[in-house]
């Protein structure tokens, strides 16, 4: 297994659009979402195509388009697949709509909210036995060195800053708190540490070491988010979870795209 979690960002993938469901389809999902047609061919079970141990779907399987929202039904549950699940976004409302209709859906609306609020995310991960960064919430004080995340309504958990001195900390805090109006989350950054990130697709971290792969599986059991970036603080051979954040389809490696497409292709009829 590759111990190095850092991955190069691949070239931007081409865009493609999936056909919308037919108007008379009784199995239509919430308005504003794109369902995957039921007649998509699945990879042959007799001769499955694989690359580096990862099943590659048929070339006619659904392509991943920018901002694409895909809803599949599998094992009696609906799965909402998107690049991000921020509050008041189309994927978030798609989940709410399915919940309102009483349909089992993963991830749940509460799970995506918890996953994207860093302190809540870390506490839930810690309760499941996953090592997490030592963290705190403040509006001014910060131990140095530290990793800083904004907590205001407009902050993104995909953005963080590592500060090592008072001057850089002061400027970063001013920015992420909007001049002291909002709190921020700090995480202690031990000496000789580094930030590592890894993408998880339906709980599978392609190419990650066994330890991080097990964390990906555990995090999927907690939040059920099909596509997420796991950010860790690595100190020696140990990893501590720092945050979970969205992933653009264009940022996926070829193996990750193949794995995601393979999960999108086979599905049940509504």
Cβ–Cβ < 8 Å for 162, 189 = yes
* C-alpha count within 13 angstroms, C-beta hemisphere, residue 182: 14
How many helical (H) and strand (E) elements, i.e. helices and strands, does the chain have? 6, 13
Phi–psi pair at 210, nearest 5 degrees: -60, -35
For residue range 244-260, what is the model confidence (pLDDT) as tens digits? 999 999 999 999 999 99
Contacts for 2 with CB less than 8 Å, ≥ 6 apart: 207, 208, 209
CB burial of residue 217 (10 Å; 0-12, 13-18, 19+)? middle
Cβ–Cβ < 8 Å for 233, 147 = yes
pLDDT of residue 75: 87
Q: How confident is the model at residue 67 (pLDDT cuts 50, 70, 90)?
A: confident
DSSP 212: H
Q: Which tokens belong to 158?
A: 């995909």
DSSP 76: T
Residues in the chain: 270
CB burial of residue 187 (10 Å; 0-12, 13-18, 19+)? buried
Q: Which residue has the higher pLDDT, 23 or 163?
A: 163
Q: Which tokens belong to 148?
A: 């800083």
| Pairwise CA distance, residues 267 & 31, whole Å | 20
For residue range 222-237, what is the model confidence (pLDDT) as tens digits? 999 999 999 999 999 9
Q: Which tokens belong to 93?
A: 């409302």
Largest CA distance in the chain: 63
pLDDT of residue 65: 80
Phi–psi pair at 209, nearest 5 degrees: -70, 165
Residue 54 has pLDDT above 70, yes or no: no
Q: How confident is the model at residue 153 (pLDDT cuts 50, 70, 90)?
A: confident
CB burial of residue 55 (10 Å; 0-12, 13-18, 19+)? middle
pLDDT of residue 77: 94
Q: Which of 246, 269, 253 has its CA nearest to residue 81?
A: 246
pTM across the whole model: 0.75
Q: Chain centroid to CA 203: how far?
A: 10
Cβ–Cβ < 8 Å for 133, 241 = yes
């Amino acid at each position: 297994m590759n111990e190095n979690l850092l991955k190069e960002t691949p070239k931007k993938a081409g865009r493609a659009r999936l056909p919308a469901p037919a108007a008379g389809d009784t199995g239509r999902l919430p308005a504003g979402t794109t369902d995957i047609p039921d007649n998509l061919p699945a990879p042959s079970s007799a001769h499955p195509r694989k690359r580096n141990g990862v099943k590659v779907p048929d070339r006619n399987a659904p392509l991943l388009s920018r901002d694409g929202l895909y809803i599949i039904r599998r094992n009696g549950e609906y799965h909402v697949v998107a690049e991000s699940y921020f509050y008041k976004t189309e994927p978030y409302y798609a989940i709410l709509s399915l919940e309102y209709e009483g349909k089992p859906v993963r991830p749940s609306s509460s799970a995506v909210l918890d996953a994207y609020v860093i302190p809540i995310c870390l506490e839930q991960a810690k309760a499941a036995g996953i090592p997490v960064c030592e963290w705190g919430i403040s509006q001014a004080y910060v131990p140095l060195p530290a990793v800083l995340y904004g907590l205001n309504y407009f902050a993104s958990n995909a953005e963080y800053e590592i500060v090592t001195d008072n001057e850089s900390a002061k400027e970063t805090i001013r920015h992420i708190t909007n001049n002291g109006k909002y709190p921020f989350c700090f995480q202690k950054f031990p000496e000789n540490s580094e930030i590592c990130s890894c993408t998880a697709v339906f709980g599978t971290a392609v190419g990650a070491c066994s330890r991080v792969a097990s964390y990906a599986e555990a995090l999927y059991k907690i939040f059920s988010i099909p596509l997420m970036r796991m950010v860790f603080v690595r100190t020696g051979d140990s990893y501590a979870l720092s945050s979970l954040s969205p992933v653009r389809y264009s940022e996926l490696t070829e193996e990750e795209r193949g794995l995601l497409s393979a999960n999108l292709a086979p599905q049940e009829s509504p």
